[in-house]
Amino acid sequence: MNDWNIQSRSHGCQGCEKPFSDKQHYHTLLTEDKSELRRLDICNDCWLTQYQGGNEKKGFLSYWQGVYETPPAKPPEAIQKENAETLLRKLIEQNDPAHGAACYILAVMLERKRILKVKEQIKTEGKRIFIYEQPKTGDLFTITDPNLQLNQLDAVQRDVADLLEHGLNPPAPTEAAPAPVADAAVGENSEPPSAESPSEPKSLDVA
C-alpha cells in the first residue's frame, strides 16, 4: 500500500455516472483494492439500492457523507511563496520516501489549522494510516504515520521549515560574472577599493 496519496472528489456518481449538482448530498466509501485504498463517491439513490447495509456486508473499510460543491472557476495563478498545503501536494506527487516524515508533519500542521480533517484511521501491515479530507475541495489525503522518535523530530521540523522557505526545487545559484580588468593603471596615490564581507545568512526559526 502506498504510504501517501491524494484522491480527488468525483464530479459525478461512480455508480450510475450521473453528474452531481451543487449542494447535492453524496456518500463516500473507502475500499481496499489490491493493497490500495480506493475511493468511491456515489449518489443517495445508488447508496440506497446498492450499498446500504453496513461495511461488513458490502466489504468497504469506511463510509461518510458529504455535500458536493461545484468548483469555482480557477483564477490566474499568482507566483507566491510555498504554503503548507501546496507543498504537501507536491511532495505526495513526487512519491519520494525521503519526504514521508515531512508529509506527516505538514498534514498535522494543516489539521491544527483546520484545513484538513481526519476522516478515518486504519491499521494495516503494522502501520497506522490517516485519511484526511480537505473540506473545500473534497480531496482525500492518505498519510502514513512514520512513527517519529523525539530525537528525529527537530531534524524533520527543520526540513519542513526549509521547504516552506525555499520551495521544493529551489533554483540553482548562479555564478557571479568575473569583474572586468581595468585598462588604466592604478595611480600611486590611489587606494584599492575595500572588499565588503558577505552578509551572514539569516537563520530560520522553527516553531
Domain boundaries, the chain: 4-69+81-166
pLDDT digits (tens, 9 = 90+) for 174-201: 555 555 554 444 444 444 444 444 444 3
Nearest to 60 by CA among 15, 29, 14: 29
Q: Calculate the CA dihedral of residues 56, 17, 134, 66 and round it to 10 degrees.
A: -60
pLDDT value for 133: 93
Calpha distance 169→104 (Å, rounded): 19
The reply to whether the predicted model has a pTM over 0.85 is: no
Residues above pLDDT 70, as percent of the chain? 71
pLDDT value for 151: 87
Calpha distance 152→163 (Å, rounded): 17
pLDDT value for 200: 42
Strand, helix or coil at 65? strand
Q: Which H helix or E strand runs over 43?
A: strand 36-43
Task: Tell how strand 117-124 and strand 127-133 pair up.
Answer: antiparallel
Calpha distance 189→191 (Å, rounded): 6
Per residue of the chain (207 residues), give pLDDT as tens: 566 788 889 999 999 999 999 999 999 998 887 777 889 999 999 998 888 765 544 677 888 899 998 887 765 544 445 689 999 999 999 888 889 999 999 999 999 999 999 998 988 878 899 999 999 889 999 999 999 888 888 899 999 999 888 877 655 555 555 555 544 444 444 444 444 444 443 443 433
